[in-house]
Amino acid sequence: MIIREGSIKEFKSLWNYSNTPTYNYFLDNITRNNVEFWTIELSKTLIGELYIFWDSIDKDEANGTNRAYLCAFRIKKRISKPRLWQKADEGCFKQNKG
């Protein structure tokens, strides 16, 4: 299992290019680097997603400085979330460099 920062292309594909208000809101914030989009892969198949909002209108949620908001942790297959966090502790988070 690999948890890594996802690409805009993967985001668009995962959301089926839906052009909904939520899709556009997330896409705009990802493009502006206000949101990180993370993917969860198992056997080279995308099975989940997680978003980190760095800033928000609601500063109790995310304030752009020292508070972030984790949002939409979704798993497509039947995998327990505690198992995912165990894998994260084992160092499977990979951040894109560029």
Enumerate domains of the chain plus CATH numbers.
2-94 (3.40.630.30)
Measure the CA–CA gap between 80 and 29, rounded to whole angstroms.
28
* Low-confidence residues of the chain: pLDDT under 50: 97-98
pLDDT of residue 95: 55
pTM over cut 0.85: no
For residues 51 and 61, the answer to whether their CB atoms sit within 8 Å is no
By the 10 Å C-beta count (0-12 exposed, 13-18 middle, 19+ buried), 9 is classed as exposed
Measure the CA–CA gap between 23 and 14, rounded to whole angstroms.
10
- Per residue in 24-44, pLDDT tens? 999 999 999 999 999 988 888
User: Across the strands, what pairs with 94?
Assistant: 4
Measure the CA–CA gap between 24 and 36, rounded to whole angstroms.
15
Tokens of 92: 């499977």
Looking at residue 44, its amino acid is: K
pLDDT of residue 32: 95
Measure the CA–CA gap between 64 and 47, rounded to whole angstroms.
29
Q: What is the mean pLDDT of the chain?
A: 84
